[in-house]
Structure 1
Amino acid sequence: MLPILSTHLFLKQRLHPGLLETAARSGARGVELFAARQHFDYTSREHVMELAAWFASNPLEPYSMHAPLFPDREMGRAGAPAVNVVDPEKSRRIDAMDEIKRALEAAEHIPFKKLVMHLGEKYESWSLRTMEYATTALEHLGAFARPLGVSVLVENLTSDATTPEHLVTILEMAHLDQIGVCLDLGHAHIAPGIAEAVATLGKRIAEVHVHDNHGLKDEHLWPGDGTIDWAATLEALKSLPAAPAAVLEIGYDLNDATAAIPDRIQMSFEKLA
């Protein structure tokens, strides 16, 4: 599996070339840019061009981008509504799609290939309304992303609306064959189980988010620090027709010593080899 590091690990910091160099030294072949304005300000031409210039002269690949979860610089702590494409209010759904399109426009200068997006928030319920809104968003954003050379991936969360079975229902009912899936292993470990998720999503899985937890909440721990059976997980992933990219998505609030982070990244990739 292609080793990719999500910049989610550095979410408390402005994304700069030094952090990208840390990823490269730690064995990553590419990065998934986490689109949060306080970290990667996709609305700032200066910031986008700074990173574009670095990628143009270095072998580390801008593999993918995680769509924004909030439109502000405080991850919603000051009251900004979430970027929710299945919100009951039409105006908020439109605002959410507009925010994701702003992030996608960075692909004009930073040639990432995939956009990972959420369908709603972590407690979103499943309904015909949710399916309708999700279909509309995926059709619209997929069409917007395609000319930029980007394919859209939808992620399984811990909500009823985004179980592997419901994601497959959305994609099959709407004939969204161009939309893939990012299988989040930590979310699947909470429910319904990783092997079951792999079996359900199958060939649609284009990348996996790699992190660990204890099966109760979304902790984003380093692999091996929770209760995921990594040998069984790797065996399940081997059943896929094509090996997905392995995107290491570690929590930014684990308080790891800065000097230890490169070794932890490298050890995590070795665990997945």
Structure 2
Amino acid sequence: MTKLKVGAALMVADLKTHRDWLVDGQRDLEIQDFFSPNNLGDAAGDLITAAKNTLQGYSGRLGIHGPFYDLPLDCHDPEMRIIVQKRMQQALDIAAKLGATQMVLHSPYSTWDYHNLDSDLTSREAKISRVHETLSPVVARAEEYGVVLVIENIEDKNPFDRVILANSFNSDFVRVSLDTGHAHYAHGATGAPPVDYYVRAAGDRLAHIHLQDADGYADRHWAPGQGSINWQAAFEAIAEAASQARLVLELRDSNDVMSGFEHLLALGLAE
């Protein structure tokens, strides 16, 4: 099987620790500070400067995690929609200043949706329509900046829902993200398919992957090898269906990045 290059999702404060590994391999990198509202707008300046200074010599594929706290993509309230759009556009401005070409968004699909969206003939379409009302100006700015928005599974029990949502924008700048630990949580706790099924459901629309291990009960963000994900099956599916996707270790403790990487290396899956 083809070995896949693995990078990391890190806060700016942790970049220095992993800089040589990232730069020497020009590995995929996702900067995560900007999911917090406290780091958007004028507050982003020092973080942008620090990231650029630390990453001199880096020319790999760079992305950021977009904001998500209290920011539903499927807003019913038009005034709330304005707030969501503002925060997303602030994050896109940051991505442009950093030279990032991806931004992670959180899926609007919940476990409740899985059991209720098909109770009538209009709910699915209405949900997608609300997301379009929220994201259309954000997508336009993303296209202008050359930043691909990738929609990450959170509670998603049906691995196809956010793929259909992404495709509904008919834009190369809206694609799909996969969090392996979230998928494994959904598999163990809610009866969703296993991780490799999520990979194949997205296929070549899958542009970004958070690698983290879990136990099938909660969202652990453990290093690979600490939980029960079948990494062989997951990486085989990625290599077959989405080998172009960015792979980043997203761990609760950034000190575990190298041990997680070395576990995947020892399995013959990563490089």
Question: TM-score normalised to the size of structure 2?
Answer: 0.79
* Partners of 1:269 and 1:26 in 2: CA distance: 15
* Partners of 1:173 and 1:58 in 2: CA distance: 38
1:52-80, CA deviations, whole angstroms, 9 ceiling, x for partnerless residues?
3433x23264611111123xxxxxxxxxx
Kindly indicate whether the alpha-carbon contact (under 8 Å) linking 2:213 and 2:223 is maintained by their aligned counterparts in 1.
Answer: yes
1:93-127, CA deviations, whole angstroms, 9 ceiling, x for partnerless residues?
22112111111101332101101101337556343
Identity among equivalent pairs (%): 22
Q: CA deviation at 1:2?
A: 3.4
1:51 to 1:172, Cα distance in 2 relative to 1, 3 A: closer
Q: Which residue identity lines up with residue 161 of structure 2 in the other structure?
A: H
* Partners of 1:241 and 1:159 in 2: CA distance: 19
Q: Which residue identity lines up with residue 233 of structure 1 in the other structure?
A: A
1:213-271, CA deviations, whole angstroms, 9 ceiling, x for partnerless residues?
1112211111111110111111111212533211111124xxx8x5xx46425425525
Kindly indicate whether the alpha-carbon contact (under 8 Å) linking 1:206 and 1:244 is maintained by their aligned counterparts in 2.
Answer: yes
- Is 1:23 equivalent to 2:12 in the alignment? no
Look up the match of 1:91. Answer: 79
Alignment equivalent of 1:117, drawn from 86, 105, 121: 105
Look up the match of 2:120. Answer: none
- Partner of 1:246: helix, strand, or coil? strand
* Partners of 2:162 and 2:67 in 1: CA distance: 20
Look up the match of 1:43. Answer: 42
Q: CA deviation at 1:42?
A: 5.4
Kindly indicate whether the alpha-carbon contact (under 8 Å) linking 1:87 and 1:120 is maintained by their aligned counterparts in 2.
Answer: no
Q: CA deviation at 1:171?
A: 3.1
Q: CA deviation at 1:39?
A: 7.9
Look up the match of 2:64. Answer: 65
Kindly indicate whether the alpha-carbon contact (under 8 Å) linking 2:73 and 2:131 is maintained by their aligned counterparts in 1.
Answer: yes
Q: Superposition pairs for residues 1-273 of structure 1, below 5 Å?
A: 1-7=4-10, 10=11, 15-16=12-13, 19-26=14-21, 29-34=27-32, 35-37=34-36, 40-41=39-40, 43-44=42-43, 45-55=45-55, 57-59=56-58, 61=60, 63-70=62-69, 82-120=70-108, 125=113, 126=117, 127=123, 128-159=125-156, 163-189=158-184, 190=187, 191-240=192-241, 242-252=243-253, 261=256, 263-268=258-263, 270=265, 271=267, 272-273=269-270
1:184 to 1:159, Cα distance in 2 relative to 1, 3 A: same
Kindly indicate whether the alpha-carbon contact (under 8 Å) linking 2:153 and 2:182 is maintained by their aligned counterparts in 1.
Answer: yes
1:137 to 1:214, Cα distance in 2 relative to 1, 3 A: same
Identify the structure with the greater helix proportion.
2
Is 94-103 or 233-242 further displaced after alignment? 233-242
1:149-198, CA deviations, whole angstroms, 9 ceiling, x for partnerless residues?
211111122145xx321113223444344411111111222332222212
* Partners of 2:37 and 2:168 in 1: CA distance: 37
Gaps of 5+ in 1: 71-81
Is 188-197 or 221-230 further displaced after alignment? 188-197
Gaps of 5+ in 2: 118-122
Kindly indicate whether the alpha-carbon contact (under 8 Å) linking 1:85 and 1:97 is maintained by their aligned counterparts in 2.
Answer: no
1:248 to 1:262, Cα distance in 2 relative to 1, 3 A: closer
